[in-house]
Amino acid sequence: MSKVKMTKQELRKMSFRWSWNRSLSWNYEKMMSLGYLTTLAPFLDRIYADDEEARQRSYAVHSQFFNTEPNFGNVILGMNVAIEEELGKDGIDTAQGVKTSLMGPFAGIGDTLFGVISSTILGSIAVATAVEGSYVGIALWIMWNIFVLFFLRPAMFTMGYNQGIKLVTNLSGQLKRFTNAASVLGLTVVGAMIASMVGVKFGAFEFFGTTFDIQAGIADKIMPKLGSALAVALFYYLLGRKGVNPNRLIWIVMIVTLVLSYMGILVTP
Amino acid sequence: MELQLWQIVLLTLWAGLSITDQMTYNLGFNGIIQTGIFAGIVTGNPLLGLGVGGILQSYALGIGTYGGTSVPNWQAAAIIVTALAGSTDNVASTIAIIGIPVAALTIQLDVIGRFANTFFQNWADKHAAKGDGVKVHFINQLGLSTFLISRMAPVFIGLLLGPALIDTVREYMPEWLSMGFTIVSKIFPAVGFSILLRYLPTKNYIQYLIIGFSLAAWFNAPILAVSVIGLAAAIIVYKQEGTAVTAGASNMNTGDDYDE
């Protein structure tokens, strides 16, 4: 239908356009909607240059609600461009269908892969080296950010464009495997961080003239860093309870810890 | 520590750059550690900033802005704590007196910003209906203003009023309370880790959490060593789950297939 064919360079430019515009106007009503439309607008102007009605309809469709993980947004945009390039105005509804059906699952996969795992692994290494006074970990993390912006996101855009919908079926099994493996690495690192970064020390109390040192007498005999493990287990459990969110947990932990330290049950590690 | 006006201005500008980066390219200017380092450079002690950034980042490890949730503004805390602590000895108490309150109390500003952007959305929608891509593009840029205000204002005000506040609090704070805050600052990373564990498939793979914990608790293994061992475990899992797919469910029993 349309004679426009995007070059590799143009797709790359669109990926950067998305990276900049995606969340500037993020709002509770339509979330990334404006970012999506802004990214596509020049493309839509070009392919519907001779058909004002189709152009306006595509604008209307692409200003609908949109929200996903920013990196995986590239894949969806790539598919969308390919579909409308090939089918023209007959592809607008198909493109919208792809958008709405993929944004949810991609948000889930993307948040796990990019949000949790990259920040768990790289973040933990950065934290551990930073508190020892070394810039190594943070340098690694910055290199990862640069790689994502300049290579990974444009590559994901092109991948969505080239492979279209068949990518999703090909990738879903692979991605699950990859996510699981990355989670294993993440969990191993977090386990070590719990032992090395969380400090909990129990106090001693007197009972009929005898001093009971909870830390040396009980906790250390069971295993080192027992308090750290207990603290994480307790907070993990609390977060699963209704009405406890991370922001509230911060306040609960602060107040309860102050009370326990006043009573001498917790002391400076 | 008293700050010069140019330092306050520079640090406020960084807060703006930081949120801009977070909403766009994500090159790392939004990082809590990077923010600490920059604040350290501006106030003449980069290593102090690195340390402060590292501590605060550990509180935020499991926290991301998934689906547009608002999270504590640890970047503002990193700037203010680094600028006002003056020395490593004061870090724990400065975090407690001003860092945590600033990070937690300014969450609402982000909520207001994301709410206010509905105005730009509706405005742009009018032009979208007419097919005016240039106007939509322009209005989309304006949405950044709410995020800039919500991040720059707390840093500016915090740096301006912080020194007096800290002096007053230090003067009147009893010994047990300042010791209590030090204990809090050591327990706080546990909050970050437990949030993170909620997002990871912890129940399926708890064995690897135990391995990592044991390596550090009993053997004091450095974090890089644990990462390499974790990488080995990840490769094993990747290969095993691969054979599970190709060999079919008949002769493989992966943990995922069990019913509760």
Distance separating alpha carbons of residues A60 and A256, to the nearest angstrom:
52
- In this prediction, residue B260 carries a pLDDT of 36
pLDDT confidence of A264, banded at 50, 70, 90? confident
pLDDT confidence of B247, banded at 50, 70, 90? very low
State mean pLDDT over A90-111. 86
- State pLDDT tens for residues A206-233: 777 777 787 877 788 888 899 999 999 9
- In this prediction, residue A28 carries a pLDDT of 85
pLDDT confidence of B104, banded at 50, 70, 90? confident
Q: Best of A22, A34, A170 to disrupt the B interface by mutation (most B CBs within 10 Å)?
A: A34
Q: Is B138 on the interface with A (CB under 8 A)?
A: no
From the list B137, B193, B205, the residue facing A194 with the nearest CB is B193
- State pLDDT tens for residues B212-236: 999 999 999 988 889 899 999 999 9
Sign, CA torsion A155/A157/A161/A164: positive
* Percentage of residues in chain A having pLDDT higher than 70: 97
Of all residues in chain B, the one with the smallest CA distance to A131 is B51
Contacts of A141 in chain B (CB under 8 A): 28, 31, 33
Q: How far is CA B194 from CA B98, B153, B207, in A?
A: 24, 31, 16
Question: Is residue B186 predicted with pLDDT exceeding 90?
Answer: no
- In this prediction, residue B54 carries a pLDDT of 93
Q: Based on the number of CB atoms within 10 Å of its own CB, is B171 exposed (0-12), middle (13-18) or buried (19 or more)? A: exposed
The better pLDDT of the pair B85, B246 is held by B85
Residue A213, beta-bridge partner list: A204
Residue ranges per domain, chain A? 8-193, 199-267
State mean pLDDT over A191-209. 85
> Which pTM does this prediction carry?
0.82
Q: Is A230 on the interface with B (CB under 8 A)?
A: no
- State pLDDT tens for residues B43-94: 999 999 999 999 999 888 766 656 667 788 999 999 999 999 988 888 888 8
- In this prediction, residue A102 carries a pLDDT of 87
Q: Which of A190, A210, A212, A176 is CA-nearest to residue A119?
A: A190
Question: Is residue A3 predicted with pLDDT exceeding 80?
Answer: no
Residue ranges per domain, chain B? 5-188, 201-260
DSSP state letters, chain A = -------HHHHHHHHHHHHHHTTTT--TTTBTHHHHHHHHHHHHHHHTTT-HHHHHHHHHHHTS-B---HHHHHHHHHHHHHHHHHHGGGGHHHHHHHHHHHHHHHHHHHIIIIIIIIHHHHHHHHHHHHTTT-SHHHHHHHHHHHHIIIIIHHHHHHHHHHHTTHHHHHHHHHHHHHHHHHHHHHHHHHHHHHHHH---EE-EEEETTEEEEIIIIIIHHH-TTHHHHHHHHHHHHHHTSTT--HHHHHHHHHHHHHHHHHHTSEE--
Contact A111, B62 (CB under 8 A): no
pLDDT confidence of B244, banded at 50, 70, 90? low
Distance separating alpha carbons of residues A131 and B50, to the nearest angstrom:
7
- State pLDDT tens for residues B28-41: 999 999 999 999 99
Q: Is A45 on the interface with B (CB under 8 A)?
A: yes
Taking one residue from A and the other from B, the number of pairs with CB-CB distance under 8 angstroms is 365
- What amino acid occupies position A152? L
Cα three-residue angle A256-B214-B238, rounded to 5 degrees:
110
- State pLDDT tens for residues B199-214: 888 999 999 999 999 9
Of all residues in chain A, the one with the smallest CA distance to B232 is A185
Using left for φ > 0, alpha for ψ between -120 and 50, and beta otherwise, residue A208 falls in left
Question: Is residue B166 predicted with pLDDT exceeding 90?
Answer: no
Contact B91, B81 (CB under 8 A): yes
- What amino acid occupies position A30? K
- In this prediction, residue B248 carries a pLDDT of 42
Average pLDDT along chain B? 87
Please list the alpha-helical segments (H only) found in A134-165: 136-147, 153-163
Q: How far is CA A231 from CA A219, A264, B179, B192, B221, in A?
A: 13, 17, 19, 11, 21
Which A residues, 58 through 117, put their C-beta within 8 Å of a C-beta on chain B? 59-60, 63, 67, 70, 107, 111-112, 115-116
- In this prediction, residue B65 carries a pLDDT of 54
- In this prediction, residue B64 carries a pLDDT of 60
